[in-house]
Amino acid sequence: MKQQLTISEKLKNKYHECEEVTNFKDMLYRSATIFKTRTAFKLKDENGKIYNKKYEEFKNDVERIGTCLIEKGLMNKRIAVIGKNSYKWAVSYLAATIVGIVVPIDKELHSNDIINFMNVSKTECILGDSKNLKQIVEDIDKLENKNIFFISFDKENLNDKFLEFDLELENGKNLLQEGNEKFSEIKINPDELKILLFTSGTTGNAKGVCLSQRNICSNILSTYGIVKVKRSDLFFSVLPIHHTYECTLGFLLPIYSGASICYCDGLRYISSNMIEYHPSVILCVPLLLEKMYQKIIKNMQKSLPQKYIKNLKENENVFDKLPFYLKLIVKSKVKNTLGGRLRVFIVGAAAVNPEIANMFDKLGLNSLQGYGLTECSPLVAGNTDFFKRNDSAGLPIPNVEYKIDNPNEEGVGEIIVKGPNVMLGYYNMPEETEKVLKDGWFHTGDLGKIDEDGFLYITGRCKSVIVTKNGKNIYPEELESYLNDNPLISESLVLGVQKENDDETYINAQIFPNIEAITEYLKGTVPTKEEIKKVISDVISGVNKKIPNYKHIKDFVIRDKEFEKTTTQKIKRYGNNIKK
């Protein structure tokens, strides 16, 4: 009797065909040739009018900025890019990684952290929004290399240290017209370090993830194989582009595919931007999907006849009670409020509520969730055009394997991954690299199980990283480092906690205060419990000022004894429950 194939095995016969590329320069030139006059970006001018940027124009701009970088002696050097999602960011990223090694930096970080990353990576040039560059220049004494080039995307807040992006673009154009061919002559080794991404906010705990262009190109091709990207597609870029999720799948994937990209003006403008641009694909986190869902349900309950609304049972979906003709009207109205062309949400960074995903399916809007990590460029698993389960992270993407290491009796264990998407290692951290890369397998630190069809289910995290509802990663060691730097605190432990009837994750700190130091701080008086709490509250307020809002410590508990520790004197992160 012939053995039946699993769904995971069947998928191998259903991949969308794609043309092989191993580096960004070839990908850029290929797209500029095939899609020469097609629209690569839909942008806004100073008056808010939308205009198109063609593929050939995009390639020319990358060449121009790249040529200027070469003429500044930046060949094979570290070049940082910082700022909001924009066309200039996209041009700078590709130019930087073709000429040298690109270091994408989170624009929300405190200047101390940005400067730390620049020092650690030995950055010699940074391109970005002027407000981010100004922030760095104000603390320039902390930069080890005072001769860094600053190239500003805009003309606001310019000073004598800033070069203008637009002028550099014009200089590059002149150099190319004069016969400078240094950029086009670059030969790229697809397997060497070309992208350096930091995973946390302080150098004491930050890991620099070293990626090659082959790593990311393999991920682009694998994703294209399971999720069809049409040349008519318009990607709406909402998520931070410095992160591999948005950068690989929301920028480089559409550029490979001949699709177009437009940029969100800000989270407040998502709805109005969608009506302006009419996108067909959005990369998002579950929180965005949830807010859209709540708005849709609220509007249905307002506009539909009361006979369909009343007597709804708990968790019953009003849409299911509607007759066929009303369902068609609701689907049409919902689609129009989202710009009229939307066909798919690609969802990552955290798990989606299956009920919400099911509802969007009923509305004719496909939502495909996946699982990935920065160290995997980022995608590891995903639901596909061919097979999908809304309660699962999906199936392994083409050319990538995963399995469960040391599973328990329920089949749950650490997810380990092998494939061309797996990072080269952590920057200047051979011991940390050895901990996670073993016998060709990357140990993710995440817990999961795989069913008989190959679908992956994430069950938890054995790493300490805290994931918020909107997919933000918070590294507790970073916050603990800030807290422990203050002499008024002896020890701290930061955890993510959930309140009753609320699935959001809040940052909570346990603090073991340094009573002796607090006594001295209060001029020798023995502190009361209220005074200790006030002093620690002030310390936490100071820490919160140094970090983005999503990392803020929302609550804290004062401990009256030290934390339970391991034999190596490390605090047991999961053995110290918060108790008031």
Regarding predicted confidence, which is higher, 548 or 256?
256
544-569, pLDDT tens digit by residue? 998 888 899 999 999 998 888 754 45
Where are any strands of DSSP class E within 349-433?
A: 366-372, 379-382, 395-396, 401-405, 413-418, 425-426
Give residue 199's pLDDT: 81
Per-residue confidence (pLDDT) for residue 17, from 0 to 100? 81
- Range ranked top by mean pLDDT from 31-35, 154-158, 332-336, 510-514: 31-35
Which among 165, 186, 207 is the end of a domain? 186
pLDDT tens digit sequence for 103-127: 999 998 889 889 999 999 999 999 9
Q: Is there a single domain that holds both residue 50 and residue 150?
A: yes
DSSP 397-411: PTT-EEEEES--TTS
| Cβ atoms of residues 20 and 34 within 8 Å | no
Same domain, 448 and 473: no
Name the token pair of 338: 């989202």
Taking the C-alpha atoms of residue 21 and residue 269, their distance in angstroms, rounded to an integer, is 36
Return d(Cα 212, Cα 220) in angstroms, integer: 13
Tokens of 233: 């597609």
Using pLDDT thresholds of 50, 70 and 90, give the confidence band for residue 2. Answer: very low
Q: Are residues 415 and 510 in the same domain?
A: no
Confidence of residue 501 (pLDDT cuts 50, 70, 90): low
Count of structural domains, the chain: 3
Q: pLDDT at position 188, please?
A: 97
Same domain? For 303 and 376 the reply is yes
Q: Is 21 a domain residue?
A: no
Note down the domain range covering 118.
Answer: 38-186
Specify if 259 maps to a domain: no
Query: Which of the two residues, 467 and 31, has the higher pLDDT score?
Result: 31
Rounded to the nearest integer, the mean pLDDT of the chain is 90
DSSP letter string, 313-337: PTT--GGGGS-HHHHHHHHHHHHHH
Q: What is the pLDDT of residues 121-165, one digit of tens each?
A: 999 999 999 999 999 999 999 999 999 999 999 987 677 789 999
389 pLDDT above the threshold of 90: yes
- pLDDT score at 578: 46
Q: Is residue 126 part of a domain?
A: yes
Amino acid type, 7: I
Could you tell me if 326 and 456 lie in one domain? Answer: yes
Q: Are residues 45 and 170 in the same domain?
A: yes
pLDDT in tens, 403-435: 999 998 889 889 999 999 999 999 999 999 999
User: Residue 117: CB partners within 8 Å, gap ≥ 6?
Assistant: 80, 103, 105, 109, 123, 198, 203, 206
Q: What is the pLDDT of residues 84-101, one digit of tens each?
A: 999 999 999 999 999 999
Measure the N-to-C terminal CA separation of the chain; round to a whole number of Å: 63
pTM of the model: 0.84
d(C-alpha 490, C-alpha 245), whole Å: 37
Task: Decide if 501 is inside a domain.
Answer: yes
Residues 418 and 499 in one domain: no
Q: What are phi and psi of 325, to 5 degrees?
A: -65, -35
Q: Round to whole Å and give the CA distance between 143 and 140.
A: 5
Alpha helices in 437-494 (DSSP H): 476-484
Which has more pLDDT, 241 or 304? 241
**Tell me, what's the pLDDT at 466?**
81
Quick check: is 204 in a domain?
no
**422 and 287: one domain?**
yes
* Average pLDDT of the residues in 6-34: 86
553 and 428 within one domain: no
Q: Let me know whether 310 and 436 are in one domain.
A: yes
Question: Nearest-CA neighbor of 18 among 402, 422, 279, 399?
Answer: 399
Structure tokens at 524: 């020798």
Helix (H) or strand (E) holding 493, with range, is strand 489-497
At 536, which CATH number? 3.30.300.30
CATH number at residue 419: 3.40.50.12780
* Residue 29 in domain: no
Selection from 161, 131, 159 nearest residue 149 by Cα = 161
What is the reported pLDDT for 569?
Answer: 53
pLDDT confidence of residue 579 = 39
Q: Chain centroid to CA 160: how far?
A: 33
Question: C-alpha angle with apex 464: 459 to 469, nearest 5 degrees?
Answer: 60
Contacts of 555 (CB under 8 A, 6+ apart): 506, 508, 509
Q: Which of 186, 215, 239 is the last residue of a domain?
A: 186
Among 159, 186, 213, give the residue marking a domain's end: 186
Shared domain check, 368 and 429: yes
Cis before 548? omega within 30: no
**What are the two backbone dihedrals, phi and then psi, of residue 14, each rounded to the nearest 5 degrees?**
-125, 10
